[in-house]
Structure 1
Amino acid sequence: MTKAPHPSVGHIHLKVSDIDRALGFYRDLLGFELTQRFGNEAAFLGAGGYHHHIGLNTWHSKGGSAPANGTTGLYHSAFLYPDRAALGAVIKRVLDAGYTLDGAADHGVSEAVYLRDPDDNGIELYRDRAPEDWPRRDDGSLAMVNDRLDVDAIIREAA
């Protein structure tokens, strides 16, 4: 019996109020590459030559405001960086641009920081540890944690 292929996440598409402002965040700070733009209505960004990991549009949200607290929707988008130095570099860029972190955590399997984009969408920036270093219980299942993360130490690795 052949096992069927498993699904994977292809991209996210976010409603934003201003394309240029969103591009300033996702392209200039987070480091994604602009692959296509449709005026002030939509933009597509990718990494590593991929056509797009992120779609941004103003089709139903131009000039709009963020959803109110207590409503449903996307909790956050998570962006994986290849190593600790790359994560430190992006954290430094977002802090230098005046964004503040909502939180930071060492999850055992990964190190992550949390913040909001210009449209108040939740963002996680993280790096994974090698799978052989992931904390496990006696039965082999993951034993993820929510420990304090030394963000300054990660930023220092970017230098």
Structure 2
Amino acid sequence: MTTESKPNKVLSPKHLAHVVLQTPEVSTMAKFYKTFLGAEASFENDSIAFLTYDEEHHRVAIIGMPGLPGKVEKSAGLHHIAFTYTTLSDLFTAYKQRKALGILPVWCTNHGVTTSIYYRDPDGNRLETQVDNFDTNEETTAFLTGPEMRENPLGVDFDPEDLIRKLESGVPEAEIKKRPNIGPRGIEDIPAH
């Protein structure tokens, strides 16, 4: 009997390439994501749309599946898709642009590792826009393994308009991104958004 050595770890991919959503309403969803992401269609017809906002040929694809039932909120599966911005200023610029287009957030929280603004698409899928709160992976790991994260893995909610005023008044981004300590808060406290 021969023994094969089992690998300790599968070779990781280079990066996450794209997300594909199925919907009964391709045109509605494609229009939303083009607006939400500042994206354009690399291909689009009545049943499918490939959308891009960077160097990748498509980051989000929308597939039409006529007759699909609506989203079941309390079911296993994908919770949200997250998109990262480079700076807090960029995150808030996109927030203000979306707000001007009638796209409003459903939840804003400082997770500690990120400052995040959540939205919903027309089908009810959650979308997170975020900025990293630390400059290095070491700082991020230290927060994730530290006592504040154990006490409150969820975050501290905020009003984006308050943080925008602070930013515009000259408060440094690093200070605004520092999560306040509010004591214990757990996953059970995630708002129904």
Q: Normalising to structure 1: TM-score of the pair?
A: 0.78
Identity of aligned residues (%): 26
More helix by percentage: 2
Shift of 1:45: 1.3
- The AA in structure 1 aligned to 2:48 is A
Separation of aligned partners in 1, 2:74 and 2:88? 34
Aligned length: 151
Separation of aligned partners in 1, 2:97 and 2:27? 18
- In 1, are the aligned partners of 2:17 and 2:56 still within 8 Å (CA)? no
Query: What is the CA RMSD across the aligned residues, in angstroms?
Result: 2.7
- Counterpart of 1:57 in structure 2 is 63
SS in 1 for 2:117: strand
- The AA in structure 1 aligned to 2:158 is L
- Counterpart of 2:26 in structure 1 is 19
- The AA in structure 1 aligned to 2:62 is L
User: Is residue 121 from structure 1 mapped to residue 110 from structure 2 by the alignment?
Assistant: no
Shift of 1:153: 4.5
Matches within 5 A, 1:96-111: 96-111=100-115
Unaligned ranges ≥5, structure 1: none
- Counterpart of 1:73 in structure 2 is 77
- Counterpart of 1:43 in structure 2 is 49
Shift of 1:112: 0.4
Separation of aligned partners in 1, 2:12 and 2:162? 37
Higher relative contact order (Cα pairs below 8 Å, separated by 6+ residues): 1
- Counterpart of 2:188 in structure 1 is none
Separation of aligned partners in 2, 1:32 and 1:127? 19
Unaligned ranges ≥5, structure 2: 1-8, 169-193
CA displacement 1:16-74 (0-9 Å, x = unmatched): 2322222222112321232221x11111112322111111110x2x3644222222222
Q: Normalising to structure 2: TM-score of the pair?
A: 0.66
Shift of 1:5: 4.5
Shift of 1:135: 7.3
Residue range with higher mean Cα deviation, 82-91 or 114-123: 82-91
- Counterpart of 1:151 in structure 2 is 160
Structure showing greater Rg: 2
